[in-house]
Amino acid sequence: MAPKHKKSKTSGGQGGAATAAQGGAKAANKAAKAIAEARAKADIAPITHISQTRRGHGGFAKFDNKEQSEKLKPKEKTEVELENLIFGADNADLVGEAFSRIGHELSSDEEDGGGVEGMDDFDYDLEVGGLEGEEGGDGGDMFFMDAGPTPVMREEINEDEEEDMEDEEEPVDEEIGEGEVDDVEEEEASEDEEVSRLTAIYGGKPAWVDEDDKTLSISLKSANRLKKLRKQEAEDVVNGVDYEQRLRRQFEKVYPVPNWAQPEGSRKRRRAGAIDSDSDYSDEEQEQEDSSILLTSSKGFLEKSNRLRILSSESIAVTRVKNANQMGPSKSVIQSVEFHPNSQMLLTAGFDRTLRLFQVDGKLNQLMQSVFYKDMPIYKAAFSPAPASGSGSGSGSAHNTVVASGRRKYFYTYDIEAGKVDKSQGIYGRHEKSLEKFVLSPCGTWIAFLGRDGYIILVTTKTRLWAKNLKMSGNVRAVAWSSDSEYLYSVGGDAEVYQWQVSSGKCVHRFMDDGGFKPTCLAVSPNDQFFAVGSRSGVVNVYNRTCLETRTPKPLRAIGNLTTSIHTMRFNHDSQILAISSKARKDQLRLVHIPSLKVFPNWPTKGTPLSYVTCLAFSPRSGYFAVGNDKGKVLLYRLNHYPSA
């Protein structure tokens, strides 16, 4: 139903206004008839009557027929404004307001005027008055305000935005230009620095540079192997020149330039530059590199190290590095491990019948050579030292020879330089079933094999033939040479220690090991001042040189830190450390501080992965300590007290 409207009250003194209103009403009726005819043509119910008093305020039609009122919907706001504009209104203010709204449909007053005070009279009358007589009538539900901007307002906004953009673009362009210049300068400086670095290393500038490298783009996150080239975690794309430089530096870090390939003095400049500038190397890597340098030669360091560096008895600084045989691990127990007397070479051998030679640097430990003995599991292998000058009993290449033996009647010698293996068919005049145990003399002249029935068989390294026998009263268990190779010491199952003069082949002194715990091994210090006798009970008796003056000497100390049979004992080069081990139980290894005769308490620890220790060795200058075990590994440790390896 059409809403009902109350008639507006007019004052009696306003006759002229009423007359004008009546005239306007007649004109409106004529227009209404014209509209009705137009609606009739469009099948719309005709308007029968328009209230003169409410047309100007509400603009709602009043219908005589109920069905017509239901078919015809209330007029929209725009229709009311159009009628007021065309036909006029009772109130002149409404007409003026309609004119003022033309072209300003989205004025700020309409958008912001959310309350009654912000609305004009027309909006307030329409909002508050609503559709009187209709239940739940809400004028706001009948209207839709298109919030889209008009063309006029859009042009104004674009002009403002263009001005703002012009103001912002100029400084941004300037900053980008400066950044590009900085990048170019950094790239040129980086290239110059790289050229200078390569010139310092190789003694000359690169002969050719590819200009297209600058246009390449390489993502450092595209592959896992490239991520190590990043300087920062978020870094990704680099150009070809930077990529080449980083690859070169990474390669040189892994494979340093050997000394023979560098010009004279470049090594010192490189080290000085690394100290003065920021370096990619850590302190540990730098220390390992220093150790690698020291391993290559012993000429200049022997002159500077005449004074003995005293080792503290409280603790020993030990750092684990890469396994010595990581590039060629053994498939069985390691039986022998030994450093070359004059270089950084290390040999390993075991029951897998393979002799392996490694170049020890603490980082890569490259495998140099390997020899497979198809008919002999190796029990013992050792470098043959250089023979003493003028001895006439050796060859010039003896120090490049490895002697290997097993539980066989024969033994092998391997020439490292020639790559030749020679088999020695036993020892003439001796019918030994096994030559698995032997010790090479420091002078490189003799090989002492442990035979049956207390015999010690001396063989020359030059001819590999029998020279003489040394006969003990009981079975021979272990032998050791003096530093000058003039004397040979041996111990038997009866706990008696023999001192033999090699030149005459006679025993010059004997003494009883204190306690008589069935000796198993014997060691003599490089300075010939200390003697160690290990036993089956795990006790190690340490004697000084006075033991060679009496038959029943007392040990300086009996070391009882191990409780199983002693298998291996080694002194280091300056006689300050004695390493003792047992393979009867896991992790049975101790380092003894000889000046104080105390065992170092801080190493090895419970977490040191020693397993069953089968052999051990010190490097020529005690910088490295190698430990072989039952898992086929040779653990390598850096003794930080000693500057050279």
Residue 503: the pLDDT is: 94
The residue with greater pLDDT, 132 or 255, is 255
Measure the CA–CA gap between 135 and 617, rounded to whole angstroms. Answer: 106
Structure tokens at 622: 């005690």
CA distance 151 to 530: 106
pLDDT confidence tier of residue 255, bands split at 50, 70 and 90: confident
Write out the H or E segment, with its range, that includes residue 523.
Answer: strand 519-524
What's residue 119's pLDDT?
45
pLDDT band of residue 225 (cuts 50, 70, 90) is confident
Find the helix or strand (DSSP H, E) in which 181 lies. Answer: helix 151-202
Average pLDDT over residues 534-541: 96
**pLDDT (0 to 100) of residue 144:** 44
Cβ proximity of 617 and 319 under 8 Å: no
SS3 148: coil
Report whether 402 contacts 341 (CB < 8 A). Answer: no
| pLDDT value of residue 385 | 78
Task: Convert the pLDDT of each residue in 450-459 to its tens digit.
Answer: 999 999 999 9
Q: State the average pLDDT over residues 526-550.
A: 96
- Give the chain's count of helices (H) and strands (E): 12, 30
**Token pair of 323 as six digits:** 């396994």
402: number of CA atoms within 13 Å, CB side? 30
Least confident of 302-306, 491-495, 509-513, 595-599: 302-306
Query: Once rounded to an integer, what is the mean pLDDT over residues 73-90?
Result: 71
Question: CA geometry: angle at 481 spanning 480 and 485, to 5°?
Answer: 170
State mean pLDDT over 532-550: 96
pLDDT digits (tens, 9 = 90+) for 274-287: 444 444 445 555 55
Q: Tell me how far apart the alpha carbons of residues 633 and 348 are, in angstroms, rounded to a whole number.
A: 9
Decide which of 371 and 155 is more confident. Answer: 371
Q: What's at 24, amino acid-wise? A: G
Q: Helix, strand or coil for residue 17?
A: helix
Terminal-residue alpha carbon distance, the chain: 110
- What is residue 534's predicted lDDT score, i.e. its pLDDT? 97
pLDDT band with cut points at 50, 70 and 90 for residue 79: confident
Domains of the chain: 18-142 (no CATH), 472-570+588-601 (2.130.10.10)
Cα separation, 469 vs 448, in Å, equals 9
Q: How many CB atoms lie within 10 A of CB 357?
A: 21
Give Cβ neighbours of residue 218 (< 8 Å, ≥ 6 apart).
226, 237, 238, 239, 240, 243
Residues β-bridged to residue 577? 593
The DSSP 8-state label assigned to residue 579 in this structure reads E
**Which token pair is 274?**
């690394």
Q: Are 531 and 550 in contact (CB under 8 A)?
A: no
The answer to whether the beta carbons of residues 572 and 593 sit under 8 Å apart is no
- Looking at per-residue confidence, does 548 or 144 come out higher? 548
For residue 518, name the pLDDT band (cuts at 50, 70, 90). very high
Q: Which residue has the higher pLDDT, 73 or 11?
A: 73
Q: With the C-alpha atoms ordered 603, 608, 612, 613, is the resulting torsion angle positive or negative?
A: negative
Residue 37 has pLDDT above 50, yes or no: yes
Tokens 């530059």, residue?
A: 273
CA 359, CA 322: separation in Å to the nearest integer? Answer: 12
Between 419 and 281, name the one with better pLDDT: 419
* Amino acid 292: pLDDT: 56
Portion of the chain with pLDDT greater than 90, in percent: 46
Return the higher-pLDDT residue of 190 and 17.
190
Alpha-carbon distance of 57 to 123, in angstroms, equals: 11
CA dihedral 299, 301, 305, 306 (to 10 degrees): 20
Output 558 or 308, whichever has higher pLDDT. 558
- Exposure letters 275-304 (e unless 16+ CB within 10 A, then b): eeeeeeeeeeeebbbebbbbbeebeeeeee
CA 262, CA 444: separation in Å to the nearest integer? 34
Examine the pLDDT at 183 and tell me if it is beyond 60. Answer: no
pLDDT at residue 418 tops 70: yes
pLDDT of the residue at 46: 47
- pLDDT at residue 512, rounded to an integer: 96
Check pLDDT > 70 for residue 11: no
pLDDT of residue 481: 98
Which percentage of the chain shows pLDDT scores above 70?
A: 61
Which runs of consecutive H residues, i.e. helices, occur in 101-150?
A: 108-112, 121-129
Confidence of residue 198 (pLDDT cuts 50, 70, 90): low
Provide mean pLDDT across the span 548-567: 96
CB-CB contact of 523 with 569 (8 Å): yes
Q: b vs e for 235-247, b when ≥16 Cβ sit within 10 Å of the residue's Cβ? A: eeebebbbbbbbe
Q: What's the pTM value of the predicted model, to 2 decimals?
A: 0.56
Residue of 303, 316, 302, 308 whose CA lies nearest to 529: 308
* pLDDT tens digits, 425-462: 989 888 899 999 999 999 999 999 999 999 999 999 99
Residue 26 pLDDT grade (very low, low, confident, very high; cuts 50, 70, 90): low
Please check whether residue 156 is in contact with residue 149, taking contact to mean a CB–CB distance below 8 angstroms.
no
What pLDDT shows up at residue 460?
Answer: 94
Please give the average per-residue pLDDT across 518-540, as a whole number. 97
Average model confidence (pLDDT) across the chain: 77
pLDDT band at 415 (very low <50, low <70, confident <90, very high): very high
Which pLDDT band holds residue 210 (cuts at 50, 70, 90)?
confident
pLDDT at 215: 85
Residue type, 40: A
